[in-house]
Chains A and B, each alone.
Chain A
Amino acid sequence: AQKVTQAQTEISVVEKEDVTLDCVYETRDTTYYLFWYKQPPSGELVFLIRRNSFDEQNEISGRYSWNFQKSTSSFNFTITASQVVDSAVYFCALSEALSGANSKLTFGKGITLSVRP
């Protein structure tokens, strides 16, 4: 069975601070996909990144970066120089490749990030 654990429930930072959101996953599959989604107050889930299990390269996109480590089954997300607009709930998710990649996502419980001005 798949499982995604986001141990942090709420994080509060002051604008311009860096913040890291942790994600630990469990799966028996050798091929799988990991995702991060952002859920602002409007409720819509916004896709941020997908990473497949064979690609352990870290990725940077603007102020966002992701650190994937298979050895520790972790896929952590760092926001550099946080901004008030980053305030949202962030979800880490996992899917099995055989299911069609994004057809059946297992989500963590989410981390509520509050960025104060």
Chain B
Amino acid sequence: GAGVSQTPSNKVTEKGKYVELRCDPISGHTALYWYRQSLGQGPEFLIYFQGTGAADDSGLPNDRFFAVRPEGSVSTLKIQRTERGDSAVYLCASSPNRGVYTEAFFGQGTRLTVV
């Protein structure tokens, strides 16, 4: 079966523009996470969805960042007025169960470059 799919794999945008990054989780996975990985660093948590709702968005750096998951499957991370500091790899992960530990499966990420 398919793993977590992220599109696009690469995105180059100009400073100040708006971007959307898409994540297709594994079918049936209720939990979905977004992380950001800057060069030479470990991934940093951004937001966690359980179903359609954001259960924890404490990692979003500021109000330029927003994420949705309207039907409880595909999620979109939206960044407004992009800045050069937003350049990073954005990773998405999903896992099947609520409240019971299960492994999170990661996608290959979207490399965002703001020029």
**A61 interface residue per 8 A CB criterion:** no
Interface residues of B in 79-115 (CB under 8 A from A): 89, 91, 93, 95, 98-109
CB pair B40–A104 under 8 Å, yes or no, is no
Residues of A within 8 A of B109 (CB): 43-44
The 0/1 profile, CB within 8 Å of B marked 1, for residues 78-109 of chain A is 00000000000001010000011111111111
Shortest B94–chain A CB gap in Å is 11
**B51 interface residue per 8 A CB criterion:** no
Shortest A18–chain B CB gap in Å is 24
Using a Cβ cutoff of 8 Å, how many contacts connect chains A and B? 66
Shortest A22–chain B CB gap in Å is 15
CB pair A109–B40 under 8 Å, yes or no, is yes
Residues of B within 8 A of A47 (CB): 103-105
Q: Give the interface of B toward A (CB within 8 A).
A: 3, 31, 33, 35, 40-45, 48, 50, 55-56, 59, 89, 91, 93, 95, 98-109
Contact of A102 among B40, B41, B103 (CB under 8 A): B103
A46 to B103, CA, bound (A): 10
Residues of A within 8 A of B35 (CB): 105
Shortest B106–chain A CB gap in Å is 4
A104 to B44, CA, bound (A): 9
Whether A103 touches B33, Cβ cut-off 8 Å, given contacts A44-B108, A45-B106, is yes
A101 to B41, CA, bound (A): 22
Residues of B within 8 A of A42 (CB): 108
CB pair B56–A105 under 8 Å, yes or no, is no
Chain A residue with minimal CB distance to B58?
A104
A45 to B45, CA, bound (A): 14
A9 to B89, CA, bound (A): 19
